[in-house]
């Protein structure tokens, strides 16, 4: 897990240094930084995530590479849906909303059609991978 954490920290550093742009294996992937509050620790945690826009809304998929359980960041926002989002040079507060039904299915397909790896992740697990809309706080 520390290898993944080290990788994520490098991506976060590069993202912030280069106004939201990163290279290497993440080059060309639309990335945002999502900061959540730990549901057990109360500490803030930031993760780089692929995202997609849908009519001005931003959403992410909690795939955890097809793991049998949801990623920690998803569990955090379930407990505390107030998050911070960084896209490019913009940083804003948002409220995370977990989608369901037709909305979830449509958004999952929208992102997976652009990044087919999400279809592979869904095939690797029996859980329905959550889709989260990040709605700007007013």
Give the pLDDT of residue 4: 80
String of DSSP letters for 52-87: EEETTEEEEE--GGG-SS--HHHHHHHH--EEEEEE
* Segments forming the whole domain that contains residue 98: 2-136
Whether 135 contacts 61, CB under 8 Å:
no
Q: CA 74: distance to chain centroid?
A: 8
CA–CA dist 64, 137 (Å, integer) = 26
Give me the percent of the chain exceeding a pLDDT of 70: 99
Give pLDDT < 70 ranges for the chain. Answer: 1
Inter-axis angle of helices 101-114 and 117-124, nearest 10: 130
In this predicted structure, what is the pLDDT of residue 47?
97
CB atoms within 10 A of CB 13: 11
Domain count, the chain: 1
Beta partners for residue 82, in sequence order = 95
Residue in this structure with the two tokens 């992102």, named with its chain if needed: 111
Write the CATH number for 14: 2.30.110.10
Question: Residue 3, exposed/middle/buried by CB under 10 A (0-12, 13-18, 19+)?
Answer: exposed
**60 and 51 Cβ atoms separated by less than 8 Å:** yes
Given this model, what pLDDT does residue 122 score?
96
């Amino acid at each position: 897990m520390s290898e993944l954490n080290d990788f994520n920290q490098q991506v976060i550093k590069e993202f912030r240094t280069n106004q939201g742009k990163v290279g290497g294996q993440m080059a060309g992937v639309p990335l945002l930084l999502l900061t959540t509050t730990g549901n057990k620790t109360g500490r803030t945690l930031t993760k780089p995530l692929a995202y997609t826009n849908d009519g001005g809304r931003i959403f992410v998929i909690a795939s955890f590479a097809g793991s049998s359980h949801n990623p920690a960041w998803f569990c955090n926002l379930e407990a505390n849906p107030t998050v911070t989002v960084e896209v490019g040079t913009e940083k804003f507060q948002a409220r995370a909303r977990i989608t369901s039904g037709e909305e979830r299915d449509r958004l999952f397909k929208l992102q997976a059609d652009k990044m087919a790896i999400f279809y592979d992740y869904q095939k690797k697990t029996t859980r329905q991978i959550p889709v989260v809309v990040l709605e700007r706080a007013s």
